[in-house]
Each structure stands twice: as structure tokens, then as C-alpha cells.
Amino acid sequence: MQRDLGRVMQAEYVIVGAGSAGCAMAYRLSQAGHSVIVIEFGGTDAGPFIQMPAALSYPMNMKRYDWGYSSEPEPHLNNRRLACPRGKVIGGSSSINGMVYVRGHAKDFDHWAESGADGWSYSDVLPYYKRMESWDSGGHGGDPDWRGKDGPLHVTRGPRDNPLFKAFVEAGKQAGYHTTGDYNGAQQEGFGPMEQTVHKGRRWSAANAYLRPALKNGKCTVVSALAEKVVIKDGRATGVQVSGGDVIEATREVILAASSINSPKLLMLSGIGPAKHLAAHSIEVIADRAGVGQNLQDHLELYIQMAASQPITLYKHWNLFSKALIGAQWLFTKTGLGASNQFESAAFVRSKAGVEYPDIQYHFLPIAVRYDGQASAEGHGFQAHVGPMRSPSRGAVTLRSNDPNDAPKIAFNYMSTPQDWEDFRTCIRLTREVFAQKAFAPFVKHEIQPGADVQSDAELDAFIAEHAESAYHPCGTCKMGRVDDPMAVVDPECRVIGVEGLRVADSSIFPRITNGNLNGPSIMVGEKAADHILGVDMLPKSNERPWLHPDWEHQQR
């Protein structure tokens, strides 16, 4: 799949990064007849650790597939360094993520448009979501009119066989919340089934959905190399210098899709960014853009873990023999427990009256386990991952040095406002209320984490400071906005302001983080950016009207 560099190479479009957005653009641009070179430092995504959905905790913790970034010590979280995995592999982070598929709330994109990303409102982006999806509810309901039927990205739902998945939704209902048959349809708010990028039992990454078809049309090539900087001549991007000093030339445009961590790093190494910061690292300033690397956002989350009174959780498979059986069944038939990420029920709720649309997300999992694959010492259990959606905290990605091999400095500045703490305490208390409903009575033994004795604000704050983890949704570091916005890095057509022939299209351009997991919106950005790059008419706007709680101003549920 990958070609090593032995000579000067040239294409109309050079894309840096074979991740979620990069693969989508490679597919659309090559499909339109243009030559495309994708530069990807990571290697192949072949093998069961990536392709088997239930094995998701493995690639995320393997140096072979992950850049291995971590934050600087976070001052508000006991100076912990939090993991910040980014995919270093074909498919990028879509090859190592949890495969959860969320579009984001309609109001998220309306906010983008209001803040200067003209043409990115929900009515503008919904047609791109439909174009990219092949949606199959698996007989679990949903909103077919809101969904795509024949796109490259397969979106499915798990079988939801474990009774705990239904108990979670029923408990939400008993607590007074709405249910929703499709949080990616008209109504995000409520409890219901979760969606995953899985197809015929395999992880359906951007590589499987977009890059492999692109490579078959003869117009797209993947080059294995480390992008060191964008070559800019007379104010125009003409190519990308890669490890070894070779230059891959772009006769039309260079497009950065290297992640919200590596895209700003690459811009700064190329002389585009805050002038003082670049000068401090002896980098010649080509475009003084104060916003490069700023506006860093993420979702934090906690696991609220319960010990189970019945041996019905996935813990019964937490042994080598059972794992081997599940692995063998998956290898030969692509079925069984190995064919799902096990996130099969979800919820989006509002934290209080007066919040217009959901600001809390739940992932429900029928085992008590950490992202690194460590099971709870309690044995049988289950957990809800919960966290606020719109933290006011902002961080930054900055250069450690001018050496392209050095990891950048990543300072999220998590939990830096009083609202963050209030929001997280609310998350914990609302979750406890859900687990206390009748639907869970047959299954709950006791609370493992935080533990029933952790009740006061101060006790909860201490728990949050020690246990909050990233949900791995970094974004915002090359903000999209109007040309006269001093903090905008790209305009609404993803063009880097101040340089010709250069775009950025990945999660770094999000003006503000969207509700839920970011893989879906990142692919959508690649889809829509491709039309901007091609200079074709945008897909016609949608007239669909999303559901909002009719009395959101006065009711929390």
C-alpha cells in the first residue's frame, strides 16, 4: 500500500495524514480524476488488533500504532500527565479509536456558523453526513430519513443482547428522561442505542471506507515518510519536505490533515503561527497567525462503576481461554463478542433547566474496566462513562523545539474554571440517580467508584482530580473563522489565511468541540472540504428541523 520515497514525487494534491479526514479527501479528490499523494508516517493497519472491534484497548496502547503523546502536567488535575493517543497508522485515529459514531448536535454546527464558519451550519453539513454514511440500524429502530444509505462509511448498532444495555435505557426513562431511537437523527437528547463504525464484524475505519477504494482507482498513492514542513515559495505552498530532505511537490494544493496535534505543529514548523513563538525557536515567520495551536479543547470523562450482583457482565470472558475462543470465532466468522466494541447503549442529557441542548454524554459498558484494559478488582461489574460536552477551558499545542522529530507540548489546561467542577459533580450525581432506578435493582450490588462514602463537593472534587481521564477528543487548534478574525487559522473553505495553496481539514479546524465522539465530524470535514477544494457546488442545504426539548428553559428532563 505504501511507497517509499526514492525520487522526487509530484501530484496535483498532497495530503499530509491518512487519518479520518485525509482518507475521505483522498477518495473524493482521486474519484474526481485528480492525482493525490498521501503522506503517512505510520504503517499498515493489517492484523486482528486493529480490525477486531472488541480488541480496541490494544492498538490504543501500542507504540506501533500510536504517537504516544501525553499532556504536560495538568495543574488542576494533581499535575497528572494525561494520555493523548493519536493514530500513527493507515486510517489514523479511526484505526485505534473506540469506533463510537456520533455526528454531533445540530446546535453545535449552528454555533460554528454563528462564530464565523459561514456555510457550516447543521443544514449545510447534514447532507455531507448523509453522503458519507451507509446506515444499518440492525432492526433497532432509528430515523431512516435522516440517514445516509449508500456512502463509504458503514454505521451499525451492536446486538444489545446483554440485559444491562436495556436496563440502562429503562433506568433513564424511569428517572424521567426522554428516550431516543436515533441520537444521530432528529433527536439527540435521551437514552437509546449507541452506534459504531463496524461493518460485517470488522472495524470500519477511514482506511477501509475511503483509502482502500481510492488506492484502487490508480490516482492515489500513499508515501511512507515523516512530514517535516510545508515548502512555501513567494507566499504559496508548493510541496512538503519529508524526512531525508526529499520534497513531494503539489502542483495544485497542499492539505494538512495530520490531527489537532500534528497539523498545528506542522504549520508552526513551516513558519505559520504566533510570530514570537516561532522566533523563539529560530523559525522564519511566513505568516503571523496568533491562533495556530491555540483554542485546544477536549472531552474529559469519569467511569462510574458498579459491582454486579449477577454474573452477567463481560467479566466472565476476562480470562485467556475465553478471550482465545472469542478471538478464534471472530477470526473465522467475524461474529460473536469480538464483532462489537461493546458500547451499545448511550445517552445525551442536559445538566439543568436553561441548557438548550444536551451537555452531558454517557457511554454504557457491561464490564468494569479501564481504557488500558485493566479489569476492576471487584470482578463482575458495569460502568457508565460520563462527562460534560462543552468545557469552557482552553489549552494550547506549542513547539518543544524546531526539530520535526520532537513531540509538541500539549497543555489542555483541563478543569481551569469553576464551571468545569460544577459540571462534573452534576455528572456524578445524575449518574448515581440513574443507577438507583428500579431497572438496575436486580443487577446492582454496590458502587465501586467513586464509592458510596464520596458525597460532599470536596470529596467529589478530590475524586475528579485523581480520576478524570481524556475521552481522546482533542480539537480546535487551527480554528476556522472569518478572515478578519485574528484567532482564525483557516477560512470557511479550509484555506490557511495568509498563504496560498494550503489548507487544513481535520478536527483542528473545529471552532468549538461538538457533542460526542469526534470521528464522525472529522470525516464529515474531509467530505465537505473535498468539495471546497474541487470548487464544485456544495450539496443543497437540508430543510430538516432537529428536535429540542419543548420546555428546555424550565425543565432539566
CB atoms within 10 A of CB 552: 16
SS3 sequence, 375-409? ECCCCCEEEEEEEECCCCCCEEEECCCCCCCCCCE
Determine whether the annotation assigns residue 434 to a binding site.
no
Concatenated DSSP letters for 417-431? SHHHHHHHHHHHHHH
The Cα–Cα gap between 357 and 355 comes to 6
Determine whether the annotation assigns residue 100 to a binding site.
yes
Residue 473 falls in the annotated catalytic set:
yes
Indicate the SS3 state at residue 288: strand
Determine whether the annotation assigns residue 99 to a binding site.
yes
Residue whose C-alpha cell reads 467508584 in the numeric block? 449
Contact call for residues 382 and 345 (beta carbons, < 8 A):
no
Contact call for residues 353 and 188 (beta carbons, < 8 A):
no
Cα–chain center distance at 212: 21
The Cα–Cα gap between 391 and 377 comes to 32
Residue whose C-alpha cell reads 457482565 in the numeric block? 313
Contact call for residues 486 and 291 (beta carbons, < 8 A):
yes
**CA-based nearest residue to 19, from 244, 260, 184, 194:** 260
Determine whether the annotation assigns residue 483 to a binding site.
no
Q: Residue 319: what residue type?
A: N
In the set 473, 532, 549, 554, the catalytic residue is 473
Determine whether the annotation assigns residue 519 to a binding site.
no
Q: Give the H/E segment covering residue 112.
A: helix 106-114
Cα–chain center distance at 419: 23
Contact call for residues 22 and 15 (beta carbons, < 8 A):
yes
* 134 backbone dihedrals φ, ψ, rounded to 5°: -120, 105
Residues 6+ away with beta carbon under 8 Å from 350: 189, 356, 357, 358, 359, 360, 549, 552, 556, 557
**Angle, nearest 10°, between helix axes 519-534 and 20-31?**
30
Extended strands (E) in 400-514: 409-411, 444-449, 469-470, 502-504
The Cα–Cα gap between 226 and 41 comes to 5
Known binding-site residue numbers for FAD: 89, 97-100
User: Which residues does the annotation mark as catalytic?
Assistant: 473
Binding-site residue positions: 89, 97-100
